[in-house]
């Protein structure tokens, strides 16, 4: 299976702290993407990192990719209460998108 596995399953932090969540996957990928899902809503694309990239930034988001370990991490800096959501990694293996179970992030005001 290409599924990504996010870790931890749940994370609770204080507003202003950084949040780090990890994703591991099983086989070679074309790229890896992170998505966010607010409760009961659809998923929203956050950031894409190509298989030949090691790090990428977008605003308060920093994503790393280690293809030798088949893992990725998402760092959200200076978290806000509005960042409370579930975060999913998705592996793209030539057009097949596979998602994990997600990390549920709660940011306490």
Partner 1 sequence: ETGVTQTPRHLVMGMTNKKSLKCEQHLGHNAMYWYKQSAKKPLELMFVYSLEERVENNSVPSRFSPECPNSSHLFLHLHTLQPEDSALYLCASSQGRGPRLNTIYFGEGSWLTVV
Q: Which of 63, 72, 100, 107 binds partner 1 (CB under 8 A)?
A: 100
Distances (CA, A) of 62 to 1, 20, 96: 26, 9, 24
Rounded Cα distance, 64 and 82, in Å: 23
11, 88, 91, 105: residue in contact with partner 1 (rule CB under 8 A): 88
Determine contact, residues 103/86, Cβ cutoff 8 Å. yes
Contact letters (x/-) for partner 1, 49-78, by CB under 8 A? -x----------------------------
> Cβ 20 to partner 1, closest distance in Å?
21
Question: Residue written as tokens 């790229």?
Answer: 31
Helix (H, G, I), strand (E, B) or coil at 81: helix
Q: How far is the CB of 27 from partner 1 (least distance, A)?
A: 14
Kindly tell me which residue out of 63, 99, 105, 107 binds partner 1, with binding defined by CB under 8 A. Answer: 99
SS3 52: coil
Place of tokens 């370990």: 69
Residue 30 touching partner 1 (CB under 8 A): yes
Residues that bind partner 1 (CB under 8 A): 3, 30-31, 33, 35, 40-45, 48, 50, 88, 90, 92, 94-101
């Amino acid at each position: 299976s290409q599924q990504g596995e996010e870790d931890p399953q749940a994370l609770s932090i204080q507003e202003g702290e950084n949040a780090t969540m990890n994703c591991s996957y099983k086989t070679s990928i074309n790229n890896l993407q992170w998505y966010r899902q607010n409760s009961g809503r659809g998923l929203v694309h956050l950031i894409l990192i190509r298989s030949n990239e090691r790090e990428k930034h977008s605003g308060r988001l920093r994503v790393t990719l280690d293809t030798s370990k088949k893992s990725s991490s998402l760092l959200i800096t200076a978290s806000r209460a509005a960042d409370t959501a579930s975060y999913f990694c998705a592996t793209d293996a030539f057009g097949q998108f596979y998602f994990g179970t997600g990390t549920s992030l709660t940011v306490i005001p």
